[in-house]
Amino acid sequence: MMNQDNRPDLVIHGSVHASGGVYREVNVQGFGKVKGDVECIDLHCAGHVSIDGDVQATNVKVEGNATVSGAFHAENMEIYGQVDVNGDVEFTQLRVDGSAKVHGSMSGEEIKLRGYLKSTGDCEAELFKAKGAFSIGGLLNAGRIEIHLHGGCEAREIGGEHIEVRKAGNSTLNKIIKHIFNNTLSVDTVEGDEIYLEYTRAKVVRGNNVEIGPGCEIDLVEYTGEFRKDSSSQVKEHKQH
Amino acid sequence: MEDDFISKKELLELTGISYGQLYRWKRKNLIPEDWFIRRSTFTGQETFFPKEQILARIDKIIHMKDDLSLDELADMFSPNLAESMIMLEDLIKQNIVSKATLDLFAQHFGITADAYPFQNVLYAYIVERLLVMGEMGLEEGRGLLQVLDSHYPAFQGKPCELIFVRKMGVSAFALAPRASELYFDNSVKVVSRLNVASCLEELKAKLLK
């Protein structure tokens, strides 16, 4: 790796075509097209950037629009605008306040979601905290999953140690939004040690202790420890093992 | 077919681990992604595992997790070759390879260094295993080293199997992707088939001790 002090910066103001490479900071304020893999310490985009290759960065902040055709590796990723990644995404911390679309799998330590997240493949983290909407084509697997439903959420499977799904707070805005959007989680199976669900539609829920709060429609609950159910929810069948 | 696979539910009942543990181990790469096999059953989609492999793996995790952290365990199970260099004297000291194998190894690689990359040590370990099993002679070991050295890197850590055959006293070695079916003519005797990934695990486990 190049000495970090000697790295050049890539600053794009206006419309620029650049080539990939090793940079200290990549700063895009205008419209940039980068051909090739990019390795940098800071990647900041307040404009529009499209990178044709893989990206490896320490800190990433996207306030505008970023498209990456390859894989994206970053330690700290903050997305206030829009990111579209064609490959897999690896991170330590990921914060999505805007929108992130990943046409691959995602893995990292911590995800904080307040906007919209879509991944075609699996999504793995130690902590997954969502106060937004998501669509995960594969398995959402995290040690601790805390979901506050703001908008429609879906995943093929959810698995982890602690899984908690709650309806978002009762503000006026939420009430209005609720009429437009369908604030529920739909998922095939939910499996975990401790499970609490509200407003969830699932085929199977399996866990040690399962509590079904209001607004759920579940075909089958299997549990080993305790099972509780809110009277407003539908559970077709429940079995203790 | 049914005997070779085990459903997730059965697995947890049999081993006594929880969903949370299973998912944590998957996250930590202790259980490879491709062991999670989704199949449709009459109750919908279910996840199955290759029975023998998953049971052996879970047994190992349970027995070793007190001594090693999950990350160390993951490193041990990782099919990617460790980047570390291994001292030859450690191999002898810990009884991992014998003097005879080491001599063969030294002849092949040309003796100069005290330490070798993990990958090369793996070759020595595989030779040692076949020698110890008494199925292979020293001279054949030379050929085996050559096959491993020139072709194993092409697998880039992907699972593969070593096949050792003999036809009318002439031995041959082949490396094939795992679980491939091979057919030989009648005069060929398959002396041994060895899963390279499990050799690698064994070696890592021995080195970690």
pLDDT tens, position by position, B75-134: 777 766 566 777 777 777 888 888 888 888 888 887 667 778 888 888 888 999 888 888
pLDDT tens, position by position, A23-63: 999 999 999 999 999 999 999 999 999 999 999 999 999 99
Contact state of A203 with B44 under an 8 Å Cβ cutoff: yes
Q: Say if residue A203 is exposed, middle or buried (CB neighbours under 10 Å; 0-12, 13-18, 19+).
A: middle
pTM over cut 0.80:
no
Q: What ipTM was estimated for this complex?
A: 0.85
Confidence of residue A122 (pLDDT cuts 50, 70, 90): very high
Supply the mean pLDDT for chain B.
84
Give the pLDDT score at A202.
95
Given A126, A188, A220, which is nearest B45 (Cβ)?
Answer: A188
CA-based nearest distance B143→chain A, Å: 39
Strand pairing report for A82-85 and A65-68 = parallel
Confidence of residue A96 (pLDDT cuts 50, 70, 90): very high
Query: Residues B2-12: what's their mean pLDDT?
Result: 85
Count Cβ–Cβ pairs < 8 Å, chain A vs chain B. Answer: 44
Question: B28 — contact with chain A (CB < 8 Å)?
Answer: no
Q: What are phi and psi of A30, to 5 degrees?
A: -110, -120
Question: B41 — contact with chain A (CB < 8 Å)?
Answer: no
Distance, in Å, from the CA atom of A16 to the CA atom of A59, rounded to the nearest integer, reads: 22
Give the pLDDT score at B1.
47
Nearest CA in chain B to A144: B20
Given B9, B20, B45, which is nearest A193 (Cβ)?
Answer: B20
Domain boundaries, chain B: 2-77, 85-208
Give the pLDDT score at B132.
87
Question: B44 — contact with chain A (CB < 8 Å)?
Answer: yes
Distance, in Å, from the CA atom of A238 to the CA atom of B138, rounded to the nearest integer, reads: 63
Q: B2-77: what fold?
A: Multidrug-efflux Transporter Regulator; Chain: A; Domain 2 (1.10.1660)
pLDDT tens, position by position, B49-59: 999 889 988 98
Give the pLDDT score at B94.
81
Contact state of A188 with B9 under an 8 Å Cβ cutoff: no
With tokens 């080293």, the residue in question is B145
